[in-house]
Amino acid sequence: MSAGLDDLPLRDDLRGMKPYGAPQAPLPVALNVNENTHPVPSEVADDILDSIAVALREVNRYPDREFTALREGFAGYLGHGLTSDQIWAANGSNEVLQHVLQAFAGPGRTAFGFAPTYSMYPLLSRSTGASWVAGERESDYTISAESAAAQVAEASPDVVFLCAPNNPTGTPLRLDVIEAVYEASRGVVVVDEAYQEFAPREERSALTLLPGRERLVVSRTMSKAFAFAGARVGYLAADPAVIDALRLVRLPYHLSALTQAAATAALRHAPTMLGMVDEIVAQRDRISATLEALGYDPHESWTNFVLFGGVDDPAATWQALYDEGVLIRDVGIPHHLRVTAGTEAETTAFLDALASIDSAS
């Protein structure tokens, strides 16, 4: 008879916790985890494969511990006068955020975010020994600068997470809110811009707020706009002193030579890789318009997904869509479901399935 978790000398603060997980199923249309469902363009894939082949010739050696070429590539991609000594990267933005928590939070310290927000923030916080404190949003999931600053000042956390735009709601986060939170905070403020590439082009990134703010961190990922979810590459920009702090907690040679080669090659093709963003945004807006026409309540989204309310029985609707071969996400918000904006064909499949469910009911 095999042992259970209760039979092991597990850390007390981990007892009762559940691991992160979204349903995985081999359905024809999977729109549940906010992937970029467009395949990597063939010419880009060929260059990535060539770069990996070159790296394989020296895979018997440890990789560049400082991932120099990749950091230079990210600095060039982000612009805003950033230099490579302001860049950090890891195996997905989750590991990037874990490094931040390991360096600036940990046992006896607290991390803070405005709920509902990315579900990994509390999991990462608790797994690194920090306590999680949840702040509140307005009923439409927005946050005002005044309310945000007051809540942060009262909680006095060591790390603040601001998801901009927010996951799972898609809600924009204005720069004045970030500035107010930074001024009210004594700790590190992390602006998670995982979905920034899907925001309106004229909107400024939090990267513009970095000068003179040594406790501000702006994290990004290649998983979404770059269609690189399977490669696991996340990164951040911050003051060089923050980068030095992250070196204290990273594992040796944490980014493999193959990962570095693949990501560096993908960055060389940034315009091509980002060419699909406009198509995804078009499908996102099509989803919102059609959901509204069907009588649902889609929330404003600056991401590659749409959270929609007005769902009488989310579990039943989710299952009915599943039975039609369409997988979306129940994020636990009452009377809401979330769907990723996929290709035109995938979007059509979702909307047709949802309409047929409505007709049947």
Residues 6+ apart with CB under 8 A from 326: 27, 28, 29, 31, 349, 350, 353
Give residue 11's pLDDT. Answer: 87
CATH label of the domain that carries residue 320: 3.90.1150.10
Same domain, residue pair 233 and 171: yes
Q: Are residues 176 and 235 in the same domain?
A: yes
Vertex 25 angle, CA 23 and 29, to 5°: 105
Question: Are residue 167 and residue 247 in the same domain, yes or no?
Answer: yes
Number of domains in the chain: 2
- Whether 303 and 241 share a structural domain: no
Domain interval for residue 18: 5-40+275-360
Query: What is the chain's Cα-based Rg?
Result: 21
Is residue 231 domain-shared with residue 287, that is, in the same domain?
Answer: no
Adjacent-strand bridge partners of 192: 163, 219
Among 241, 269, 297, give the residue marking a domain's end: 269
47, 29: one domain: no
Q: Can you give the pTM of this predicted structure?
A: 0.96
CB-based contact 93:223 (threshold 8 Å): yes
Same domain, 198 and 247: yes
Peptide bond into 41 cis (omega under 30): no
Domain co-membership, 241 together with 291: no
Provide the CATH number for the domain around residue 142.
3.40.640.10
- Under DSSP, is residue 1 helix (H, G, I), strand (E, B) or coil? coil
Same domain, yes or no: 89 and 178? yes
For residues 152 and 271, what is the distance between their CA atoms, to the nearest angstrom?
38
In order along its 361 residues, the chain shows pLDDT tens digits of 778 888 899 988 888 888 877 777 889 999 999 999 999 999 999 999 999 999 999 999 999 999 999 999 999 999 999 999 999 999 999 999 999 999 999 999 999 999 999 999 999 999 999 999 999 999 999 999 999 999 999 999 999 999 999 999 999 999 999 999 999 999 999 999 999 999 999 999 999 999 999 999 999 999 999 999 999 999 999 999 999 999 999 999 999 999 999 999 999 999 998 889 999 999 999 999 999 999 999 999 999 999 999 999 999 999 999 999 999 999 999 999 999 999 999 999 999 999 999 755 4
The SS3 call for residue 354 is: helix
d(CA 219, CA 194): 7
* Final residue in a domain of this structure, among 238, 269, 300: 269
Domain boundary among 269, 286, 320: 269
Q: Where are the beta strands (DSSP E) in 91-168?
A: 110-115, 131-136, 159-163
20 with 119, same domain: the answer is no
The pLDDT value recorded for residue 359 is 56
Shared domain for 182 and 152, answered yes or no, is yes
| Domain shared by 241 and 295, yes or no | no
pLDDT confidence of residue 349 = 98
Encoded tokens for 229: 């979810």
State the pLDDT at residue 275: 86
